[in-house]
């Protein structure tokens, strides 16, 4: 059974992750995870201490669980700069802090790292309001570049074409053909996918209620620091790690909000997408990294999550995820694996790790922490107390 | 001239827009400054607002405007509730009432819930929206702080058929200190008034060492308004100006809430993920008739409803409920 454990400060509870139902269960892994959670409350998405929290938790699990594969995400810079206008010095401090924490993990754990920046963030130049269309315009959660339109009218076509911030309108069939989809993908793809010009974003259903300061650039390349071997495109990362896990302990480390402009470690620019499509920070980029497969159709632009969001939706604590992708590295690797990050949902939903520890934040509100234990593996219990 | 929408009764003239900054005086009338301007529209579970005893299982279009007539020190929506409305205009949606209703229908929503900020700051637009919604058979609900004048309370009662009223404390001292509102009396009056004719649920956020000693007194008051009143005790998530506050202890509150349940059987305790206090039990025989999941703030949902025709399957006892169970993807009639 896959377990979900929640810590809301001074109180913990446990559920069957796939059904959401309460369960009572005890094991060395559960005890370890509960203890680590109790001792490390989450500082909050905007707090710089959130990066230290990631390193502290990851090191704690490395010392006590001894994994071979680690997946980390330092996401605080992304949250901070997306919603808060900030001076260059302040931003530099956030970048330095996140990369320093990533390096602290590497130095103290001895893991061989692949460090990936999710891409540059740029100021918002303008908004395109698509709320008045006859069709239904839907923005995927947190997407800035893409908007899906369902059942558009002739009048909508005229309006959309008049938008100065629009880069292109992609019809469903084109989207599927150009990005290598199957005919069955048409059920998940909107009639139109609207692509914003760089710097522009959409206003429509599910677009951000909080005013935005910066949005992702159209990052055709993202920075990757690695000594493991050549990486040309984002989907090369996963097979390269899998190969090296046979002989090494490897850490895949995502640093969100940071692109080629700000990345201060030596890096290779790596292709971040396919054809005209570039990944934004989020589930598809994470999954492309962890599965080694492009992710255009599982969570496409304009995804309507709500038709399936009924009482029986699997993984009710995992947002719009209704399954865990079995191509993720944690599923493919037989050794012990962990994921830790201040990126809620994505750590457990995209890593496949034995243990995933993440903040439980929704819309940037700090509700505590969540752990997912996807499978039990043997490990040597360390008798000494935790930090 | 004086605004008559809320109990602040602000003087409005020229560039005086009142405490909420959402009304102005024009040609001897109080008018909205930003009619039909919405801050969001999104699909939610009705349990998430929370409404636990209204149209269970239904899909709601959640909407809001901007502005608030309170200044709660722990506001979790301050960027929208306390921002300067005119600086937020770029982020708002201009949608006629008919268009909002169309969006609800396009997304298969069974009702519309105003939940982001205080509805009292946008009453004329909401009255028009309610007329358009009624024509399509969509009920409307809202979350309010209850600080309306008698006249405005009647207007809200005509626009909305279900309410979640926030009763933060039973003491005016608390209101003065933490919301800036001078007096709790109008709120108590309005809870009684609205509970008499509409479906009302009440939410009380617990602030440690500030209002936790008042819980039983609040329960007694609510029970006097309606012994079947649905009461949501919230574990407050300290935000905004009270961010540094300690989180309320869950274990310490349980005995108090168990006592409160003797007065108000439909007392729930949540706003934290995984809460055990979100199910509905039959008050006669103790059978669990409705199960829910709590995902913390804004994420509660139904997971089972064993309460056909709103009656306990074991003993037939009626469970108070506005409307019946609605299937998530049930067509809007
Ligand atoms: Zn019964």
Q: From the centroid of its chain, how far is CA A233?
A: 18
Residues A50 and A344 sit within 8 Å (Cβ to Cβ): no
Consecutive 10-residue runs of chain B (333 residues): their mean pLDDT?
96 94 95 97 96 98 95 78 83 96 98 96 98 98 98 98 97 93 97 97 90 95 98 80 69 94 97 95 97 87 96 98 97 83
- Does residue A265 form part of some domain? yes
- Ligand 1 centre to CA of B278 (Å) is 17
Look at residue A256 and tell me whether its pLDDT is greater than 70: yes
Kindly report the CATH number assigned to the domain that includes residue A159.
3.30.1360.180
A333–chain B nearest CA distance, Å: 31
Q: Which residues of chain B make contact with A311, given a CB cutoff of 8 A? A: 57, 301-305, 328
Same domain, A253 and A339: yes
If one compares A273 and B243, the residue with the highest pLDDT of the two is A273
- Ligand 1 centre to CA of B310 (Å) is 11
Q: How much is the pLDDT for A387?
A: 45
If one compares A372 and B296, the residue with the highest pLDDT of the two is A372
Q: Which two tokens stand for residue B71?
A: 């200044």
Q: How much is the pLDDT for B243?
A: 58
Which of 3.90.700.10, 3.90.330.10, 3.20.20.70, 3.10.520.10 is the CATH number of B36-273?
Answer: 3.20.20.70
Considering only the beta carbons, identify the residue of B42, B297, B304 that sits closest to A365: B297
pLDDT (mean) for A326-352: 97
Considering only the beta carbons, identify the residue of B93, B106, B235 that sits closest to A136: B106
Q: How much is the pLDDT for B160?
A: 98
Q: What is the pTM of this model?
A: 0.96
Q: How much is the pLDDT for A357?
A: 98
Q: How much is the pLDDT for B73?
A: 79
Question: Which DSSP string corresponds to A315-351?
Answer: -TTSTT--S--TTSHHHH--S-EEEEESSTTHHHHHH
- Does residue A47 form part of some domain? yes
If one compares A207 and A374, the residue with the highest pLDDT of the two is A374
Considering only the beta carbons, identify the residue of B79, B250, B328 that sits closest to A311: B328
Same domain, A117 and A129: no
Same domain, A97 and A150: no
Chosen for mutation from B98, B273, B300, B331 (greatest number of chain A CBs closer than 10 Å) is B273
Same domain, A226 and A177: no
Same domain, A274 and A356: yes
Q: Which two tokens stand for residue A365?
A: 């509100």
Domain that holds residue A93: 3-121+215-292+327-373
- Does residue A386 form part of some domain? no
* CA B149 vs CA A367, B3, B79: distances in Å: 35, 10, 26
Same domain, A358 and A220: yes
Same domain, A98 and A235: yes
Same domain, A163 and A198: yes
Look at residue A130 and tell me whether its pLDDT is greater than 50: yes
Mean pLDDT across chain A, nearest whole number?
95
Chosen for mutation from B274, B276, B302 (greatest number of chain A CBs closer than 10 Å) is B274
- Does residue A379 form part of some domain? no
Domain's final residue, options A179, A212, A245:
A212
Percent of chain A with pLDDT over 70: 99
Look at residue A299 and tell me whether its pLDDT is greater than 80: yes
The answer for B 260-289 residues in CB contact with A (under 8 A) is: 272-274, 276
- Does residue A321 form part of some domain? no
Same domain, A167 and A241: no
Same domain, A229 and A364: yes
- The pLDDT tens digits of the residues spanning A131-148 come to 999 999 999 889 999 999
Q: How much is the pLDDT for A366?
A: 85
Q: How much is the pLDDT for B238?
A: 64
Per-domain residue ranges of chain B = 36-273
pLDDT (mean) for A52-74: 97
Taking the alpha carbons of A52, A58, A62, A63 in that order, is the dihedral positive or negative?
positive
Question: Which DSSP string corresponds to A265-277?
Answer: S--EEEE-EETTE
Q: How much is the pLDDT for B75?
A: 75
Q: Which residues of chain A make contact with B57, given a CB cutoff of 8 A? A: 311
In the 8-state DSSP scheme, what is residue B152?
H
Confidence of residue A364 (pLDDT cuts 50, 70, 90): confident
Q: Which two tokens stand for residue B77?
A: 């929506």
- Does residue A251 form part of some domain? yes
Look at residue A286 and tell me whether its pLDDT is greater than 60: yes
Q: How much is the pLDDT for B245?
A: 65
Domain's final residue, options A212, A238, A272:
A212
Domain's final residue, options A194, A212, A230:
A212
- Does residue A43 form part of some domain? yes
- Ligand 1 centre to CA of B282 (Å) is 5
For chain A, what is the domain count? 2
Same domain, A161 and A281: no
């Amino acid at each position: 059974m896959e377990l979900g454990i929640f810590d809301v400060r001074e109180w913990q509870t446990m559920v069957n992750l796939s059904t959401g139902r309460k369960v009572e269960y005890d094991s060395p892994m559960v005890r370890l995870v509960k203890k680590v959670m109790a001792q490390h409350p989450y500082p909050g998405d905007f707090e710089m201490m959130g990066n230290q929290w990631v390193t502290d938790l990851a090191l704690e699990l490395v010392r006590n669980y001894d994994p071979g594969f680690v997946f980390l995400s330092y996401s605080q810079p992304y949250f901070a700069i997306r919603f808060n206008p900030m001076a260059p010095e302040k931003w530099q401090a956030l970048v330095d802090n996140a990369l320093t924490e990533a390096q602290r993990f590497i130095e103290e754990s001895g893991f061989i790292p692949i460090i990936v920046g999710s891409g540059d963030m740029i100021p918002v130049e303008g908004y395109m309001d698509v709320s008045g269309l006859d069709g239904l315009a839907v923005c995927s959660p947190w997407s800035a570049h893409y908007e899906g339109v369902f059942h558009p009218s002739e009048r909508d076509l005229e309006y959309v074409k008049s938008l100065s911030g629009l880069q292109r309108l992609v019809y469903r069939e084109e989207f599927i053909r150009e990005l290598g989809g199957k005919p069955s993908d048409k059920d998940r793809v909107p009639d139109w996918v609207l692509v914003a010009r760089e710097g522009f974003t959409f206003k429509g259903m599910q677009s951000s209620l909080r005013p935005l300061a910066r949005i992702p650039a159209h990052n055709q390349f993202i920075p990757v620091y690695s000594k493991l071997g050549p990486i040309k495109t984002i989907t090369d990362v996963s097979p390269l790690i899998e190969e090296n896990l046979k002989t090494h302990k490897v850490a895949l480390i995502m640093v969100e909000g940071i692109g080629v402009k700000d990345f201060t470690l030596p890096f290779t620019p790596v292709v971040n997408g396919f054809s005209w499509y570039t990944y934004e920070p989020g589930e598809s980029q994470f999954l492309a990294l962890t599965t080694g497969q492009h992710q255009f159709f599982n969570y496409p632009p304009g995804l309507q999550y709500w038709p399936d969001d009924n009482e029986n939706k699997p993984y009710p604590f995992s947002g719009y995820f209704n399954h865990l992708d079995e191509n993720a590295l944690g599923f493919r690797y037989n050794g012990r694996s962990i994921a830790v990050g201040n990126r809620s949902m994505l750590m457990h939903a995209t890593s496949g790790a034995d243990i995933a520890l993440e903040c439980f934040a929704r819309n940037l509100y700090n509700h505590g922490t969540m752990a997912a234990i996807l499978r039990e593996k043997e490990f040597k219990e360390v008798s000494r107390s935790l930090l | 001239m004086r605004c008559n929408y809320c109990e602040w009764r602000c003087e409005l003239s020229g560039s005086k827009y009142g405490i909420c900054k959402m009304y102005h005086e024009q040609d001897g009338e109080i008018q909205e400054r930003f009619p039909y301007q919405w801050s969001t529209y999104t699909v939610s579970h009705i349990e998430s607002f929370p409404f636990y005893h209204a149209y269970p299982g239904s899909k709601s279009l959640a909407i809001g405007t901007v502005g608030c007539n309170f200044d709660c020190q722990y506001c979790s929506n301050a960027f929208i509730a306390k921002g300067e409305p005119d600086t937020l205009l770029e982020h708002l949606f201009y949608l006629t009432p008919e268009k909002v209703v169309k969006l609800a229908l396009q997304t298969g929503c069974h009702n519309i819930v105003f939940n982001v900020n205080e509805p009292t700051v946008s009453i004329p637009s909401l009255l028009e929206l309610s007329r358009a919604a009624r024509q399509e058979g969509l009920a409307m609900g809202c979350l309010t702080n209850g600080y309306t004048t008698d006249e405005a309370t009647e207007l809200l009662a005509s626009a909305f058929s279900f309410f979640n009223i926030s009763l933060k404390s039973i003491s005016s001292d608390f209101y003065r200190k933490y919301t800036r509102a001078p007096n709790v009396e109008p709120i108590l009056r309005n809870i009684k008034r609205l509970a008499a004719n509409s479906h009302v649920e009440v939410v009380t956020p617990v602030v440690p060492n500030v209002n936790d000693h008042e819980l039983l007194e609040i329960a007694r008051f609510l029970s006097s308004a309606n012994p079947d009143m649905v009461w949501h005790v919230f574990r407050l998530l300290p935000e905004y100006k009270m961010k540094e506050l300690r989180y309320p202890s869950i274990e310490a509150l349980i005995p108090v809430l168990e006592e409160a349940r003797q007065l108000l059987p439909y007392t729930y305790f949540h706003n934290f993920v995984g809460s055990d206090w979100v199910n509905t039990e039959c008050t006669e025989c103790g059978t669990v008739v409705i199960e829910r999941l709590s995902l913390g703030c804004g994420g509660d949902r139904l997971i089972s409803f064993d309460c056909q025709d709103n009656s306990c399957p074991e003993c037939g006892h009626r469970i108070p409920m506005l409307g019946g169970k609605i299937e998530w993807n049930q067509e809007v009639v």
